[in-house]
Structure 1
Amino acid sequence: MLKKNYTATGTKCRVTFHHPGGEQIESVALAGEFNGWSAAETPMKKLKSGDFSVTLTLDAGRDYAFRYVLNGQCWVNDPAADKYLRNEFGEDNSVVAV
């Protein structure tokens, strides 16, 4: 799930990324164009509900490809992404348009 809040000037957007928790999910990280596809740089916070969330401030007016990294090894997409783009590994990346 993606939640977007634009600044008054419209040049920045605070995007909240959300991934549901699960019995087998101990950690979730956000990897994408905004952090060099690092699976460690943007860990998501585990909420009381068991879900995971993180908010980033991104430049408005462009698209950002991203994926969630579950337990440090399983890369998955966001089913609520704005769109999907094929990557060089033959899979799709989630895309958020801001």
Structure 2
Amino acid sequence: MLERKQLKDRTQVTFILPENTPDGPVSVVGDFNHWDPASHPLRSRGDGTRSTTVALPANSAHSFRYLAAGDYWFDDEHADAHDGANSRVHT
């Protein structure tokens, strides 16, 4: 799931997944962090979910995926769009 908060010239996008689906650590990777899994790991929120927030330029579009333990890549079913291999978020 994606949540957005508009700032002046940026949009804070929060990427949210259930706490244990999938098991183990998960990161959001995309063109906004050079596909680096160390940049945005999801952290527990105490409400049964985990998340990370990324500030992106307003009025832009970005490709992303999730990377879980065991080199398991997956898309966000609630993304704004999909471009074949990746999920897309629009700010």
**Larger of the two Rg values belongs to structure:** 1
- The CA RMSD over aligned residues, in Å, is 1.6
Q: Which amino acid aligns with 1:22?
A: N
Identity within the alignment, %: 32
Segments ≥4 residues shifted beyond 6 Å: none
Equivalent residue in structure 2 for 1:30, among 28, 37, 42: 28
Task: Rate the CA distance shift 1:24–1:5 in 2: closer, same or farther, 3 A.
Answer: closer
Q: Structure 1, unaligned stretches of length 5 or more?
A: 87-91
Tell me the CA shift for residue 41 of structure 1.
1.8
User: Under a length normalisation based on structure 2, what TM-score does the superposition of the two structures give?
Assistant: 0.89
Counterparts in 2 of 1:60 and 1:24: CA distance versus 1, 3 Å: closer
Q: How many residues align?
A: 91
The Cα shift of 1:24 comes to 5.3
Aligned residue for 2:83, secondary structure, equals strand
- In structure 2, the partner of 1:5 is 5
Query: Please, which runs of 5 or more residues in structure 2 have no aligned partner?
Result: none
Question: Contact conserved, 1:83 with 1:95, CA < 8 A, in 2?
Answer: yes
When the two structures are superposed, what TM-score results if normalisation uses the length of structure 1?
0.83
> Aligned partners of 1:32, 1:70: CA distance in 2, in Å?
14
Preserved CA contact (<8 Å) 1:27 1:72: no
